[in-house]
Chains A and B, each alone.
Chain A
Amino acid sequence: MTRSTILETTDLTRVYRRGAEEIRALDEVDLRVPEGEYLRVVGASGSGKSTLLNLLAGLDRPTQGAIVTPVGSLASMSSRDLAAYRAGWVGMVFQSFNLIAHRTALQNVELGMLFLGLPKPERLRRAEAMLVDLGLAGRLHHRPGDLSGGEQQRVALARALAKGPRLLLADEPTGNLDRATAAALGRILGDLNRKGLTIVLVTHDAQLAASDVHRTLEMSYGRIIATRVEREGGPTC
């Protein structure tokens, strides 16, 4: 299956400077992600996985290189356009969930669509539908402190998905979950990909989504050192 490219990086580099010291967190990474692919990125801590994800999400800017998406090159986009990219094109899920503690599950998910310009009733409707789809119908008005880890991560996932993104970036989403809950989340992600969502999953859990991912990239010291095709028949560019 040949699909359009949803992400392409060329010589992607990110250097952090601490005085005279330079840390090359990402070093000339070339990557192409076709739409509909389930891509897993693995590697030890400090290998550059999260840095790659932050750059792909438009949360950070590369020191060198390009990130091309269907809406433009992220490296040369204005702050305003990058914000619009984050608001509508990409959804993110984090290891620590990053829910806002004083807002309910419904309000957290609704917040994810605030900067899309949708009216509040529409935001609430979509938020409720997404939470129900993820099995949280009875937890709409509970705050994160009242939810389990797995439930919180599902709320975070609902927040990322409710706006209808083309790309889901998940940074160690099961890092704070037990094995069973992690497996359940992995199944949810697999289902989402089968429905057509492009997913880039950063994890150090080799078992997570093992049967669902199309390709695995192994990173070390900021570089892609290996690429494995996990499942035949995945989309290509």
Chain B
Amino acid sequence: MLGEFLSMAAANLWRMKLRTALTAGGIVIGVGALAAMLSFSFGMQKNVMAEFRSLNLFRTLHVMPSGGDDAGLAFGDGEPEGGHKGREGRRGRAREETSRADRDRAQADRAGAPAERGGAQADSLVMIDDRALEGIAAIDHVDLVYPQDTFDARVEWGEEHAAVTAQALPADFGGKRGAKRVLAGRFFAADSSAEAVVSTRLLERLGTTADSILGDTLHVRTAGRAVLIQQFLGPMLDRMQVPEEMQALALSLVGSFTRSFGRDRCDVVVVGVIEPEGGWGFRLHDVLLPAHVVAGLDRLGFSNPIELLSRMQSGDAPGYPLAVVTVERESDVPAVRDAVEALGLRTFSFVDQFEEMRRAFLIFDLVWAVIGVIALAVASLGIANTMIMSVLERVREIGVLKSLGAREGHVRGLFLVESGLIGLGGSLGGVLLGWLVSRLASLIVRRIMVNQGAPPMDLFHLPGGIALAAIAFGVGVSLLSGLLPAARAARIDPVRALRRD
């Protein structure tokens, strides 16, 4: 009987083509808007996910020193108790320890004795040294671990020069699966070899190519403490109007003192070219140098705020402010994170951050969905109106059907099928419209991005499941709209209906 009703309903709707098209148009617009907005949101999510994945962020952990009055920094505020108990729990415990420390200090002040620092970890600072790195590398499912050891420097190649951020890495980094592929040449052979790997971005800045620079010597000058002091001291003496002879003497004395900080330059041979990746805090930088070559250089010890905060917290304890760990699979992150925290270190994972982002995207999706639902609600009034008019126009026909043996359920079903068909046609048209709009918008945005020199990106993505859900929702709304008119049709008295002219 459903098949019969479908063909009867389709014939009825086709008879009133204009009315059907206008009524379905409301659904087309409602579902189209819903599909377009959701495809934009899903497109953004897809791009973010793809960017995260391309940078291996879902398989990356940042490891930081821990211990002391740890109230928690911006990333990862774990205590070295082992296990990833949850941020809120750890923040709460850290706040308790800080409060206890304040109470101890206040009590000691009143008693006239030096305060002891509260918290069990005050003097047991866990740094990221070479032994810690070995411990992390030994954890199951860890693919690669290296310290994030960066510093500002100036490189000179021939007559060209550039200010860069240089990075120290172990020699075996190049052989690890997680390392980026070297585009030309090779990685440096040993931790003490005077070699370097540069990025394609640096080649662009120096105005050269891989073939030209491979095998050449690169002069690296660090912007270390000595340079910083001298750069600060000179202008200060000028402002104080110190005589030139006195300035020269002062700079000479400071220079003697700062020589103990270490060398401020090294010469290395360029042996490889690599593609830089990612953004702040986790990229391979423009110049990669062997760890032991960098060890003897005078450096500030930080090149970004995270590293500065880490340094400030750890004081002068030796070790790296940050280490980067990549795991074999995304699913290995929780286990590796727990194992690293069991070593007494703190971790930060982009998986957790992405969960926050995912929640934000969900809220956006809900907002778009609500807007789409409002549009569909307006369209549903049109369907209800059309169906009521249809019932009033077909009263006699309903009487005839009942005289021929139609039950109330048959009549109700026939009109529901008609409203459902309007919704189905409108929803299919709406998804198509939403797809067309998103394609057109994508083309325009890509053209603009290419013209601006940015890599082209597809901003829209409509998963098949969402398209089907939008269609189902449109049909559902239409059926709901048809309920009242269909019930009204079913209740028509056939005797009165057959008497109508």
Q: Chain A residues in contact with chain B, CB under 8 A?
A: 54, 57, 59-60, 79-80, 83-88, 92, 94, 96, 98-100, 102, 111-112, 114-116, 120, 159
Contact = CB atoms under 8 A, between A and B. Distances in A.
A98 B410 contact: no
B405 interface: yes
Contacts of B396: 98
Contacts, number: 54
B403 interface: yes
Contact of A114 (B4, B11, B402, B495): B4
B407 A54 contact: no
B15 interface: yes
Contact of B402 (A59, A88, A96): A59
B397 A100 contact: yes
B404 interface: yes
A101 to B, nearest CB: 9
Chain B interface size, under 10 / 10 to 19 / 20 to 34 / 35 or more: 20 to 34
Given A98-B396, A115-B410, A87 B404 contact: yes
B54 to A, nearest CB: 58
Contact of B405 (A87, A98, A99, A102): A87
B456 interface: no
Nearest to A100: B397
B494 A59 contact: yes
Given A86-B404, A102-B11, A112-B404, 5 more contacts: A60-B495, A96-B501, A98-B400, A114-B404, A115-B410
Residue in A88, A92, A98, A99 whose Cβ sees the most chain B Cβ within 10 Å: A98
B250 interface: no
Contacts of A59: 402-403, 494-495, 498
Contact of B407 (A57, A83, A100, A102): A83
A102 B15 contact: yes
B335 interface: no
B75 to A, nearest CB: 70
A108 B15 CA distance: 16
Contacts of B309: none
B498 A94 contact: yes
B400 A100 contact: yes
A60 to B, nearest CB: 5
Nearest to A156: B400
A136 B286 CA distance: 93
Interface in B386-407: 396-397, 399-407
Instruction: Sort A-B residue pairs by CB-CB distance and give the 8 closest, nearest first.
Output: A87-B405, A115-B405, A83-B407, A86-B405, A98-B400, A59-B494, A60-B495, A54-B495
Interface string B322-356: 00000000000000000000000000000000000
B408 interface: yes
A104 to B, nearest CB: 12
By CB atoms of chain A within 10 A, which of B404, B406, B494, B495 has the most? Answer: B404
Contacts of A116: 405
19 contacts: A57-B403, A60-B495, A79-B408, A80-B407, A83-B405, A83-B407, A84-B405, A85-B405, A88-B405, A94-B498, A98-B396, A98-B403, A98-B498, A100-B400, A111-B404, A114-B404, A114-B405, A115-B404, A115-B407
A137 B406 CA distance: 28
A51 B495 CA distance: 9
Contacts of B405: 83-88, 114-116
Contacts of B399: 98
Contacts of A92: 403
